[in-house]
Amino acid sequence: MKFIKEKKNHPPALPKEEKAASIRTTRTFFLILTLLLISSGPFAFVKSTQMQSLIRKEQTSLTETIQKELAKNTNTSVTSELYKQLLQPFITAYITIPTEQQAFEKRFNSLQETYFMITLDEEKNTGTERKLLSSNFYNLVNENGQLVAQYRIAYEINAPVTKERDVKKKEGDKEVVIKEKYIDYEKN
């Protein structure tokens, strides 16, 4: 006896189609993505505040070290004669004020030309004369990153004062007293 296997005829297999993303999987994907984005916001905020505090600490420490270095540099004494050579003509020209208008303008122009870095407010000639008697270099101080020279000076001020005096004049047979105004200089 022979057994014959009969082949079963299977229905033809259809090719498998790719599954289209279902609405449910799309929703869960977007929900997970949204939750990740929402949770990353506070995390980023905490990280940024930590970095800002770290930056502030670094800035304060750097500022302190710079100020210490500047303080070390400003404590060094400056004994250079160059400062004195530069400033002595300026002190002499600036303190001395002539009474004549032309000399006054010449003084102002020479100060502006020689020391062009210095802006001088335009002064008015009041007729007061100031003479420099002596000037001595005292100290060189660093204020706000600028060197400031300190001098001991002595000067004399001659201010014009209008006074009246009685002048006797003869007019014919009589003596007439006339009050005459004149300018005298007071020394201060």
CB 78 within 8 A of CB 148: no
Q: Which residue has the tokens 């004994």?
A: 79
pLDDT, position 138: 80
pLDDT band at 159 (very low <50, low <70, confident <90, very high): confident
Q: Where are the beta strands (DSSP E) in the chain?
A: 129-143, 146-171, 174-187
Q: Which of 92, 138, 142 is nearest to 115 (CA)?
A: 92
Pairing of strands 174-187, 129-143: unpaired
Strand partners, 176: 169
Q: Which of 49-63, 106-120, 148-162 has the lowest mean pLDDT?
A: 106-120
**pLDDT at residue 98 tops 60:** yes
